[in-house]
């Protein structure tokens, strides 16, 4: 029996649901990817962040081309990765919304490299962008870490559409 277009669409919808279900099982931190154009700051919440290697220190973030901040991130030689702290759920909400000036109500500064760095974060990296890899709707930005700083603060954790308090993680053993 041959598959009809309706069957194929149903299979694809079912796979999409299963894909989302698996993603929901995977906890991440929450970062704010920042960039500045003519000293004007842009940023968005991103959990598609990963370390690639320590030597050289490479990391990656994936940014949707439809986001308002995309043009600024793409145009910048240096970008920031701000790792949000457990007490920064309000900051996460600001950067999860699209457009507008997200920085007016926040403490932040422009680093020597011209990268917006948020105050109160658990840590931040400044990257020199090395590769921009197109991946359908997203671009994978690979950057070499040129500055890094961490604070003694627990991270904000994200899983299955909810934020969790990283100060209350229990070691398994
Ligand atoms: C927890 C969380 C994680 C997110 N991760 C990503 C991501 O990895 N990449 C991405 O492009 N957007 C991600 N988003 C969505 C953007 O933050 C969202 O679309 C934002 O409104 C974009 O802002 P902008 O259009 O002003 O740039 C995430 C949102 C949340 C709440």
Atom number, ligand 1, closest to the C-alpha of residue 92: 31
For 84-114, how does the pLDDT look when each residue is reduced to its tens digit (9 = 90+)?
999 999 999 999 999 999 999 899 999 999 9
Residues linked to residue 165 through DSSP beta bridges, in sequence order? 156
CB atoms within 10 A of CB 106: 18
Q: Which of 7-16, 21-30, 40-49, 136-145 has the lowest mean pLDDT?
A: 7-16
Which residues lie below 8 Å from residue 165, measured CB to CB, with a gap of 6+? 86, 154, 156, 157
Query: Ligand 1: distance of its center to the CA of 171 in Å?
Result: 29
**Domain positions in the chain:** 28-159
CA distance 127 to 130: 9
Query: Ligand 1: distance of its center to the CA of 22 in Å?
Result: 19
Mean pLDDT of the residues in the chain? 97
Quickly name the fold that domain 28-159 has: Pnp Oxidase; Chain A (2.30.110)
pTM of the model: 0.96
Which residue is closest in CA terms to ligand 1's atom 4?
Answer: 46
Ligand 1 pocket: which of 44, 79, 92, 132 to mutate (most atoms within 8 A of CB): 44
For the cut 90, the answer to whether the pLDDT of residue 6 exceeds it is no
């Amino acid at each position: 029996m041959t598959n009809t277009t309706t069957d194929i669409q149903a299979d694809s919808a079912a796979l999409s649901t299963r894909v989302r279900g698996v993603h929901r099982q995977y906890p991440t931190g929450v970062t704010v990817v920042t960039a500045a154009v003519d000293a004007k700051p842009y940023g968005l919440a991103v959990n598609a962040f990963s370390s690639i290697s320590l030597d050289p220190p490479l990391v990656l973030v994936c940014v949707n081309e439809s986001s308002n901040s995309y043009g600024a991130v793409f145009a910048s030689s240096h970008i920031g990765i701000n790792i949000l702290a457990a007490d920064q759920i309000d900051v996460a909400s600001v950067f999860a919304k699209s457009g507008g000036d997200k920085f007016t109500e926040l403490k932040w500064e422009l680093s020597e490299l011209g990268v917006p760095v948020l105050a109160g974060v658990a840590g931040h990296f400044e990257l020199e962008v090395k590769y921009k890899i197109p991946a359908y709707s997203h671009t994978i930005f690979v950057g070499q870490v040129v500055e890094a700083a961490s604070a003694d603060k627990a991270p904000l954790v994200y899983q299955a559409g909810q934020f969790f308090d990283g100060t209350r993680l229990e070691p398994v053993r």
